[in-house]
Amino acid sequence: MNAKAEKIRVASIDPSYYQAVTDAIRTEAVKLLSEEAVVAVVGYLPGRRIGTAVPGLVTTPEQAQQLIFSPACVNNLSLYLTKAKKGVLKKGKVAIIAKGCDLRALAGLMGESQVKKEDIYTIGIACAGVFGANSDRKGGLTEASIARKCRECTVHQPEGVDLLVGTLPELPQLTALEAQELARLEALTPEERWAYWKEQFSKCIRCLACRQVCPFCYCEQCLCDKNRPQALESSPRPAGNTAWHIVRAMHLAGRCGGCAECERVCPMDIPLNLLNRRMAMELKELYDYEASMVPQEKGPLTRYQEDDDQSFIK
C-alpha cells in the first residue's frame, strides 16, 4: 500500500480549497461578531499537534481570525447548542459551522425542540471529508486517512443553511468500507455476530465518550445513570456494557444523523456506528425514513401508519 499513490484528489489537486473555506469562515465570523449579529461563533481552531483542530467557542472578531477549516475538523459542533452544554454559550443567537453530517444532527435537534432555527445562523461547509480516528495525518487527507463515514457520505453539499461556504472539489469514488463491513456481519450466523459484538463490547470501559459527544444524548438524566430503578447495570462489566450499547443504539434509532462521532471518540475503537447504520437501514427499509438536513416534525418511531409492516408479528 503506497499512501502517496492513494492520496485522494481533494487534497492533492485542490490545495486552495481548505484555505478558501477558512478565509470565507473568518470573513463571515468577523462580520457577524463585529455587527453583533451573533453572540458567538462555534467553529474550529487549530490544535497544537500536527493535523489536529479543536472546537472553538469564539466570541470576539479577533478570535474569529483564528478559525480554520481542515480535514482535522472532525467534531460535530451541534453538541454545543444542546442542553448537555447549557451555560457554556451566552444567551443569544449563535453562528455554527456545520458539515453535512452535522447539519442532519442540527435538523434532528430542531425536530426535537432542542434548537430553534431562529436562534442559530448556520454556516454550512461543502465538505470533502475529514480524518478518521487514529489516522496518520501527516500526509493530508488520503484514502488511508479519511474517516470511514466520509467514504460513503451523501451529504457533502449542505442544504438549507444561512451561508454556504466552499466549492466542492471533484470527489473520487471510494469503496464503501462500512457498508461492506455491515454486509459481512449480516452474513454471519447469530452466534458469530454475538461473538463479534461480545468481543467489541468487552473492551468498553464505560467512559461514556460515545454518549457525551452525541448531539442527541442531551438528556439531563441518562437512563444508564438511573438507579431507581436501575434499567441497566452501571458497572463497566460485559453484561452492563452490552446492555448499554443496545439501549444506546435503540434510543438513537430514528434520530441519529450519522455523524459517527460516537465511533470516532471511542478510545477502545468499538465500531459503534455500525449499530447506528444498521438501525438506519432498517428504518429506511421499513418506513422509508432517512435522517435529513431539513427538520422533520416526527421521526419514524414517533409516528406510525396503519398498514406498517407486521410480518414479524403472529
- Of 90, 184, 237, 284, the one binding another protein by CB under 8 A: 237
Query: Would you say 13 or 207 has its CB closer to another protein?
Result: 207
6-35 mask for another protein (x: CB under 8 A)? ------------------------------
Instruction: Locate 40 and state its grid cell.
Output: 458567538
Interaction residues for another protein, span 121-160 (CB under 8 A): 134
> Which residue do the cell numbers 434548537 mark?
115
The least distance separating another protein from the CB of residue 16, rounded to whole angstroms, comes to 25
- Of 267, 284, 290, 294, the one binding another protein by CB under 8 A: 267
Interaction residues for another protein, span 155-174 (CB under 8 A): none
Q: Is 66 in the site for another protein (CB under 8 A)?
A: no
Closest by CA position to 122, among listed 140, 107, 143, 138: 107
Interaction residues for another protein, span 177-236 (CB under 8 A): 185-186, 188, 190-200, 202-203, 205-209, 211-213, 218-223, 225-226, 228-236
Q: Is 75 in the site for another protein (CB under 8 A)?
A: yes
Q: Is 283 in the site for another protein (CB under 8 A)?
A: yes
Q: Which stretch binds another protein (CB under 8 A): 12-20, 92-100, 119-127, 237-245?
A: 237-245
| Phi, psi of 126, deg, nearest 5 | -75, 105
Closest by CA position to 216, among listed 115, 97, 304, 96: 115
Closest by CA position to 28, among listed 48, 42, 47: 42
Closest by CA position to 167, among listed 122, 129, 127: 127
Spatial distance between the Cα atoms of 36 and 30, rounded to a whole number of angstroms: 10
User: Sign of torsion, CA 43 46 48 52?
Assistant: positive
Neighbouring residues of 134: CB distance < 8 A, sequence distance ≥ 6: 269
The least distance separating another protein from the CB of residue 88, rounded to whole angstroms, comes to 5
Query: Would you say 13 or 223 has its CB closer to another protein?
Result: 223
